[in-house]
């Protein structure tokens, strides 16, 4: 697959959340773990699609959401449960969405071998599904078969702004932390940070909220995913031993709804 085709698959995958069911095994530095149990800071086996290097890389963000459709991929005597739009690496095809997999496609494993897709079934049921963001190579391996998948995650959200009535009080409370700026400038900084991506950021989905933290600038944001509204944006004041966890706890206190 050409580089522009790879980019196209990854970009299209970001138009929705693509994930695995919670009991999907992921190969980590501590052995296999259910994807639902993996935390930011854990190291998972990853592969550079350009050089072929395989190494353990840090998880920089975790995601989960609800879905009502699961694709059951039967391979190597096992079943991998995924959403329709997760990219798998197929020999001679490259990154391929689950919905586009064909019986007989050869899925690439962590050791470079391949396994044939035996069958695929679509199941309509409610399920919580999970995904990771992996530092550096942006890939990981699922099941004890070590099937190579991409780490593309929930789309960058087109944030509307702050929740109704929240902009002014949050500007009055936190605006000065960013210098002598106007309310509109504070809003722009918040929306810019919400849309910004970096492997150095920590992110976690808490119910319907996403928490984002940049340790280099101490910026913290909590936003409501479904409403696409920012709930707060501030700079950590250094008093918390773990600013990211403090923000996660804040999101939990909001009820996750």
Rounded average pLDDT per 10-residue block, the chain, 257 residues? 42 54 97 96 94 94 84 97 91 91 97 97 93 90 96 64 93 97 97 82 78 95 86 95 94 77
Structural contact between residues 71 and 83, judged by C-beta atoms closer than 8 angstroms: yes
The number of distinct structural domains making up the chain is: 2
Domain at 184, CATH number? 3.10.450
Q: What is the pLDDT at residue 26?
A: 98
Residue 110 sits in a domain whose CATH number is: 2.170.16.10
pLDDT of residue 14: 41
- In this prediction, residue 152 carries a pLDDT of 66
Q: Which one of 91, 116, 150 terminates a domain?
A: 150
Range of the domain at 146: 20-150
Q: According to the 3-state scheme, what is the secondary structure of 176-236?
A: HHHCCCCHHHHHHHHHHHHHCCCCCCEEEEECCEEEEEECCCCEEEEEECCCCEEEEEEEC
Q: Is 190 exposed, middle or buried (0-12, 13-18, 19+ CB in 10 A)?
A: buried
- State whether 167 and 144 are in the same domain: no
- Same domain, yes or no: 194 and 126: no
Q: Where does a domain end: 150, 185, 205?
A: 150
Sign of CA pseudo-dihedral 37, 38, 39, 41: positive
What residues contact residue 145 under an 8 Å CB cut-off, 6+ apart? 75, 76, 78, 109, 115
Q: Tell me if 59 sits within 8 A of 132, measured CB to CB.
A: yes
Tell me, yes or no, whether 40 lies in a domain.
yes
**1: in domain:** no
User: Strand, coil or helix: what is 76?
Assistant: coil
> Which pLDDT value is given to residue 105?
98
pLDDT at residue 151, rounded to an integer: 81
99 DSSP β-pair partners: none
Domain finish residue from 111, 131, 150: 150
pTM over cut 0.85: no
pLDDT of residue 3: 43
End-to-end CA separation in angstroms for the chain: 41
As given in the structure block, the two tokens for residue 69 are 């459709």
């Amino acid at each position: 697959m050409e580089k522009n085709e790879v980019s196209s698959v990854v970009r299209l995958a970001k138009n929705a959340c693509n994930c695995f069911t919670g009991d999907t095994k992921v190969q980590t530095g501590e052995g296999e773990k259910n994807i639902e149990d993996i935390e930011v800071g854990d190291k998972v086996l990853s592969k550079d699609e350009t050089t072929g290097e395989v190494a353990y890389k840090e998880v920089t963000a975790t995601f989960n959401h609800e879905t009502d459709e699961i694709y059951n991929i039967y391979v190597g005597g096992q079943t991998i449960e995924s959403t329709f739009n997760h990219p798998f690496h197929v020999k001679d095809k490259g990154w391929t969405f689950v919905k586009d997999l064909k019986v007989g496609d050869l899925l690439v494993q962590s050791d470079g071998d391949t396994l044939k897709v035996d069958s695929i079934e679509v199941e309509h049921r409610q399920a919580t599904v999970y995904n990771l963001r992996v530092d550096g190579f942006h890939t990981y391996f699922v099941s004890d078969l070590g099937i190579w998948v991409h780490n593309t995650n929930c789309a960058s959200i087109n944030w509307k702004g702050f929740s109704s009535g929240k902009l002014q009080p949050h500007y009055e409370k936190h605006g000065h932390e960013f210098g002598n700026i106007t309310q509109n400038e504070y809003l722009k900084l918040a929306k810019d940070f919400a849309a910004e991506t970096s492997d150095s950021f920590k992110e976690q989905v808490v119910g319907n909220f996403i928490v984002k933290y940049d340790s280099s600038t101490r910026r913290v944001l909590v936003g409501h995913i479904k409403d696409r509204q920012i709930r707060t944006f501030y700079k950590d004041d250094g008093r918390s031993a773990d600013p990211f966890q403090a923000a996660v706890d804040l999101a939990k206190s909001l009820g996750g709804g």
